Structure 1
Amino acid sequence: MPRVSDLHVVANTPLPAPQVLSREIPRSDAHAGFVVKSREEIARVLAGVDERFLVIVGPCSIHDLKAGREYAQRLAGLAEEVKDRMLLVMRVYFEKPRTTVGWKGLIMDPHLDGTNDIPTGLRMARTFLREVLELGLPTATEMLDPITPQFIADLTCWSAIGARTTESQTHRQMASGLSMPVGFKNATAGSVVAAINGIKAAMQPQTFLGINEEGRASVVTTTGNAASHLILRGGDEGPNFDEGSVGQALAALQKNGLAPKVMIDASHANCGKDCRKMPDTFREIVRQRKAGATGIIGAMLESNLVAGAQAMAESREALVYGQSITDQCIDWETTVALLREV
């Protein structure tokens, strides 16, 4: 009989069930309490009840847990210092969408060598999220693979749907069931309409295919996620953090019956992926807020211990400690100065 299945599949390795991994790396009552509190604080900022400025800040991606821990420890102290004016949430990004090919993040390739040891990556991600929470820092990540939330969502306080997936029905459905606030980025071309449609879909009840805690294929039915919001990150046609673009986005939200609230990403296309331009982009976002644009509820910053970015090396030892291997980031000293300035 001719073969018709798995013609291009060379391996199909079972994963540990989400509940098995959760028992192996458990969530304590203290973790759960802090996650609930943090999600509520973020939701209050989105609703305009809490007037603090929400800042999602941290490395473009986590690839070195030691450097990630050092960054988190520093950020925890800064978050405490500025907590009367700002709510800082740490970027803890483990999955990276690629335009073509490249390193896809700690979960997919934790050893940075193409071995794709996903079970180890999931364990590392879950362990690191616990460590960040124990420092008193809320956690933020992008949910890229629709199976991933079953393994890490209980330790995540805020999540994003990225520019490449904001038009994806699968991701909109997934967002409708996530237990934390979710930001939808405008599409890579710059379309805000795509993200607004994503928000509207995520706020509605959805039924879709997924997995349950036992790891079995299942039919998932959700209530919808009311804490879904828009993120402006620029696009192929240029930045969209200027007053005109922000005003148009807020008007479009209102026209679609959504709250006129927006977060603005100071990185990605809004700084031309040049970390040297990111501080001034961030300052302009804050200037607009200070001038009365209360619809701007927060911003995103890609920040690491060392500025810039580096290419993947043949060995971990050859990598610069504390420097991104994905998008460029501002360094720690610049991060501190910016946030204290705000």
Structure 2
Amino acid sequence: MSMNFIKQLPDPDELKAIHPLSKELAAHKQKRDAEIRDVFTGKSNKFVAIVGPCSADSEDSVLEYCEKLADLSEKIAEKVLVIPRVYTNKPRTTGEGYKGMLHQPSPDEKPNLMAGILAIRKMHIHVIENTGLTSADEMLYPENRAYLDDLLSYEAIGARSVENQQHRLTASGMDIPVGMKNPTSGDFSVMFNSVLAAQGSHHFIYRNAEVATNGNDLSHVILRGGVNKYGNSVPNYHYEDLIRLSSMYEKLDLKNPAAIIDVNHSNSNKQFKEQIRIVSEILHSRNYNPSLKKLIKGVMIESYLVEGTQPIDCQRIYGKSITDPCLGWEDTERLLYKIAENC
């Protein structure tokens, strides 16, 4: 047999009992969730900035980053709603490489899923405790989100997962915004099919139980660029792309039309400094066209304490990405102020 049993992992309710979210923090999260919901339903005109490292690889540096982000978010709160990216799962195109804190609480050590589950739950709680911000994470493994479902205020379904049935159906049972990225091919119809599925009600198996969902009216699209048959990045944040997106939304019977633009990945061809220019172009497009201003709710930015990226097997620099390259803090601070001035 090629799959070997290692250990039984705890039930999510057991883990939550060991590391609970206090009643005070739960009430705070409920308030934050309502504020975020108001943006996606159009009740609030605030612009969402989902910003943070490509992967949350160290609790110390992630908390330091989020504390800086919290201080800044208070200064721009009238215009911008900041959601920190605390991504604890990392999809790998070939299956090789660092898969995130869930797999390896320490990037230098072997995978340990039990330690990883504990580490990511504690880190998300500490972010709320230390900063008052509630986070975004990627739903890479649908059944694993049960370990964090009381902590997260936003979830994304990635380009490689968006066609998966279990991701779509699980999203239909969530009560927070869930963003469906366009697939790596760039096909908008696949992305919209996922939104449609997530907004519907379903009956299926989840964590060995028969469940039924009511549908998630906050499911929406995320544009992250695509890759053509030659392996070249094809961005989809330009004005013409956004107009096409708006036109497709108008033809579909979807609740709360909304879009987030991921300004890294194939939109920047992973040229991380391009994120600054791309955000400026998106803001210009929104301000030029009232329908786009209503539709485009925010941006997703990859940013960390130190700009760039570094390999794992080196004398690593604290607060520098070990996966995709990120903006550094100084550029991030200037960019968020610019967003507040122009959104």
- TM-score, reference length from structure 1: 0.93
1:332 aligns with 2:326: no
- Distance in 2 between the 1:82 and 1:162 partners? 28
Choose which of 86, 95, 106 in structure 1 pairs with 2:101: 106
Residue 83 (structure 2) aligns with: 89
1:1-342, aligned counterparts within 5 Å? 7-100=1-94, 101-113=96-108, 115-134=110-129, 135-211=131-207, 217-237=208-228, 238-258=234-254, 259-291=256-288, 292=290, 293-294=292-293, 295-313=295-313, 318-342=315-339
Aligned pairs, number:
328
- Distance in 1 between the 2:50 and 2:159 partners? 16
- 1:227-251: CA deviation from partner (whole Å, max 9, x where unpaired): 1011111000410000000110111
Amino acid at match of 1:304: Y
- TM-score, reference length from structure 2: 0.93
Amino acid at match of 2:145: P
Amino acid at match of 2:222: I
- Distance in 1 between the 2:172 and 2:153 partners? 15
Contact kept? 2:58, 2:106, Cα under 8 Å: no
Contact kept? 1:161, 1:171, Cα under 8 Å: yes
- Distance in 1 between the 2:266 and 2:236 partners? 8
Q: Structure 2 unaligned segments of length 5 or more: list them.
A: 229-233
1:289 Cα deviation from its structure 2 partner: 1.8
1:114 Cα deviation from its structure 2 partner: 5.5
* RMSD (Å) for aligned C-alpha atoms: 1.2
Amino acid at match of 1:55: A
Contact kept? 1:31, 1:155, Cα under 8 Å: no
The alignment partner of 1:184 has SS state of strand
- Distance in 2 between the 1:59 and 1:235 partners? 21
Contact kept? 1:153, 1:179, Cα under 8 Å: no
Amino acid at match of 2:144: T
- Distance in 2 between the 1:111 and 1:306 partners? 19
Bigger CA drift: 175-184 or 297-306?
A: 175-184
The alignment partner of 2:142 has SS state of coil
Contact kept? 2:134, 2:151, Cα under 8 Å: no
Contact kept? 2:220, 2:257, Cα under 8 Å: no
Amino acid at match of 2:200: Q
> What percentage of aligned pairs have identical amino acids?
37
Amino acid at match of 2:73: A
- Distance in 1 between the 2:33 and 2:324 partners? 27
- Distance in 2 between the 1:156 and 1:261 partners? 19
- Distance in 2 between the 1:220 and 1:268 partners? 35
- Distance in 2 between the 1:180 and 1:35 partners? 11
The alignment partner of 1:307 has SS state of strand
Residue 231 (structure 2) aligns with: none
